[in-house]
Homo-oligomer: A and B are copies of this chain.
Amino acid sequence: MAQWAIGIDFGGTAIKAAVVDEAKGILLDRRVFTDTASGVTGMIAQLASIIAELYRHALHSLDAQDFAGAGVGAPGAVDSVKGLLSYPPNLPGWEVVALRDELQQYVMERDGLSIPVFIDNDANVAAYGEARYGAGKAFNDFIMVTLGTGVGGGIVLNRKLYRGGHGTAGEVGFMILDFEGEGVHAGIRGTLESFIGKKGILSMARRMINESEVASSVGQLCGDDYAKLSPRHIEQAALEGDAVCLAVWNRVGSILGVGLANVAVLMDIRKFVIGGGISAAGDLIFVPAREQLKRSMLPPMHDGLELVPALLGNKAGMYGAAALCFG
């Protein structure tokens, strides 16, 4: 009999949770807005409610004996061994919280359920979801890079999460690609995120539109109000053939390629899974990224290079969180 688990993607905006069958995937899911105003205890209560509800619901068709636990992907630094979540950037009022134990205890005290809880950070959990159920299934070793508001990463080696000695491995957004460059993110100059995080892309686009000798058609899409410019506008204009926006994505992809090459030469990882909202731009990013990746590495190291889109979209977190319980 296959195991099943509850997988939770705990974000600053929404909590997404699913019952996941190890073999069949997601059986049912739920989504609620994160009640950030209710503080640590309130949010733990929210998580506990969803776990208890999904668990009871699942028991109509699944066997309690095959239940592997509830996994949580959380935003912030997570010590998965100790079960601690530290300073999640989008959860006001949280400092260091023993999320795993507090959640387990809450579910026990309020609902009388003894449920093993596992936690890890959201980037790791998304990578693990893709490893077990998505674009990484065929790869022993890969890095998943999430392109969104920020640039996150999760590393899978030998089909297991590589967390590093302090649980902070995979922070590819903090990799420095131009140490004398202009962009600064979180006080650090020239990081991958400073270039191709959402903010970086938008300021790159505004600069390139400004400096271009040919006019960009993207102005029509944002009502000529460049403060309202979004990655979607740049994507749409590029797909319609706008040269400036094509050049923007070309540069975004190239810079991503440089970052991936650094991962490849350091860790000997040659498989790259790219996800996150910004990655919807697809080949606009992937084609220049693949080219730059090769240009940035010696030819004998090109063997086996693959850059592929993530497959699970915003379900990667739920899948990966559940998979934490399957071990």
Contact = CB atoms under 8 A, between A and B. Distances in A.
Interface of A: 77, 86-87, 140-141, 153, 155, 162-172, 174-181, 186-188, 190, 254-255, 258, 261-263, 265-270, 295-298, 300-301, 303-304
Nearest to A298: B186
A177 B177 contact: yes
B270 A267 contact: no
Contact of A180 (B165, B169, B178, B297): B178
Contacts of A261: 174, 176
Contacts of A262: 175-176, 262, 266
How many copies of this chain does one complex carry? Answer: 2
Contacts of A162: 267
Nearest to A299: B187
14 contacts: A162-B267, A169-B266, A169-B268, A174-B297, A175-B265, A175-B266, A176-B262, A177-B179, A178-B178, A179-B255, A186-B298, A188-B297, A262-B266, A266-B266
B174 A268 contact: no
Contacts of A141: 164-165
A55 to B, nearest CB: 34
Contacts of A181: 178, 180
A178 to B, nearest CB: 5
Contacts of A178: 177-181, 190
A179 B297 CA distance: 12
